[in-house]
Chains A and B, each alone.
Chain A
């Protein structure tokens, strides 16, 4: 494996961990029992 491959792998791994943290912890799994209010139009 070349250095470039290793760097790509590292980047993909980091992005994956961040995606996991963001979607599971920060967004609480995108499933808040919000009953669709997530779609509510925000007032400008």
Chain B
């Protein structure tokens, strides 16, 4: 049945699956086609589940399904299974196979497997511009004839070739294509299996693509045998002949045949017009992947990220802080006063909501700045190198460098990092990586660091922040080594790591992905951080009419926990209460402190009140000044994070923490916040991903013990050294 027939029958919807190797640009292609914002990164494994986008083309509604990147359709990892299950069970009308034109031979292996499915395939020869720049000439016409499938050169990042690709996909949809031929022996064996199937299990031929099913039975594919209820003996007579002719392992034999076809095809269609010269990627890699320089360069890159994060964001942090602590607070009070609201509602709005949520929002510029620089590193291809240079350290804890990718994602938020563990093949690796991910310092912990670094270490904020991130990584390696010898015994799997070429990410892509990463902090602020801030206000004011917050329910809970924290240097009820509420989300630690210290901050603010217009003018001028300061900080060679000079806004809370912490106990507190139990959302993600609370339970236990021990060593060790 052709598209024209479908059109006559009034069918207006087509499903197009987009498949391809990791990092071949599938998500970029869908984003360019459908205007969606699927996450894109210049590293393999960004898409770990199938995602959809809808697109109208002429009078067609096209459902584009972005499948996880896979090198093959063998059932050895979760993303391969997700991709394969979708193609077999949902039978899309056409598959767009996104092929990296700079890496033709490796990508064509998957193409061969896609062609086996009996679903029409269209090849998008993507990253075509880079292939041309490398001097590659690809004879697409010959390729098309040899494969029996349309081939369209595309450059998804620039939107080139996409219209032609869609048209080719529509023309190809539902039209049968010839499958690759694997030679007489295999074809005869397939015929034998198909004949047996039609006699003994004809229903299976209707449920699966028949040739593909026969191939899988020849290969004794475990998943297919399990699903169909057949045994490996089913294909016995046909397999026996193949075994006699080609050796025992039919699966390996079939893989060789596919590789052979891919290699042969590549040789036929690819011409390299100039001798391969050392390109930029190779030159950079010689340095950043150097055995001795790799890790120092990674640490230096992270330091630069933190330094820039502070330099860019601090003026804006001060501006948002001044806006929430001043005008917003005053306007809310005035507005509620106009409505004649009772005093407790003013307190709830000002001390609870603005004191709690507002104080978290103050740090949004830091979070967005850090997400921007991390997105830049991801998009440039450097993050894949970071995983590569960490490979040796990861092997010491029985993991592969591939496990470091979910951990790096954890710098943004631990939750997607937990989900990203599904790119790992073995359940052991997934579980071990997931229990180590919460040690990666996520963006939610930044507000705590920024507050304390600003109060105690204003001279070197970037370095102190960097030391905390390095502490997190070091603890992950240490705990991993211990777990490898106890709970997670086993060897690290062997796996080839892909190193994508370096690319300069476009500003548009950087801004979109920074927003995608950062926006959930805003969502959190509007939902559960708001809810917790209100609950904290209740707990600080209950029993109703309580005179001192110390005697409130939250104060009592804090007092009960405080003795356990005393050896760590922060055994106050305020710190203990903040750590308790921070279990919901780590940024709530500062939100709670903001509420607890709100009264003191308010007292220090007494004085003549500016008018509404004066407030507006101050806000506008303050923003312009912040933008100027941020620019000056970035261009300054020495860099001046202006945390030390602020005598306004957050100063109330900084002053309050200065009165209860010393620099040493402040650092111990930050280390405790870094390491103590994962937040509730991470707990839910672990339960969702693994179907059990077991791994969260393990993370909860070991992290609590680790956080307490490390904070104790820092504080008591520092005191012993006279700090």
Contact = CB atoms under 8 A, between A and B. Distances in A.
B342 A31 contact: no
| Interface-centre pick from A27, A30, A36 (highest chain B CB count, 10 A) | A36
A22 B348 CA distance: 22
A19 to B, nearest CB: 4
B684 A24 contact: yes
A28 B680 CA distance: 9
Interface residues of B, number: 46
B63 A29 contact: no
Contacts of B535: 13, 16-17, 20
A35 to B, nearest CB: 3
A19 B524 CA distance: 11
B527 A30 contact: yes
A20 B526 CA distance: 11
Nearest to A5: B342
A29 B53 CA distance: 23
Contacts of A23: 524, 527-528, 531
Given A36-B516, A41-B53, A16 B534 contact: yes
B230 to A, nearest CB: 36
B37 A20 contact: no
B599 interface: no
Interface string A9-20: 100110011011
Given A24-B584, A40-B52, A31 B415 contact: yes
Nearest to B64: A40
Interface string B17-44: 0000000000100000010111100000
Contacts of B48: 33
Contact of A29 (B54, B342, B528): B528
Given A24-B584, A41-B54, A33 B418 contact: yes
Interface string B576-608: 000000001100000000000000000000000
A20 B415 contact: no
B680 A37 contact: no
B530 interface: yes
| Closest 8 A/B residue pairs (Cβ) | A35-B39, A33-B416, A29-B681, A33-B419, A23-B527, A37-B51, A20-B531, A19-B531
Interface of B: 27, 34, 36-39, 46-48, 51-54, 61, 63, 342, 344-345, 348, 413, 415-420, 516, 520, 523-524, 527-528, 530-532, 534-535, 538, 544, 584-585, 680-681, 684-685, 688
11 contacts: A20-B528, A20-B531, A28-B684, A29-B520, A29-B528, A30-B523, A32-B415, A36-B37, A37-B38, A40-B52, A41-B34
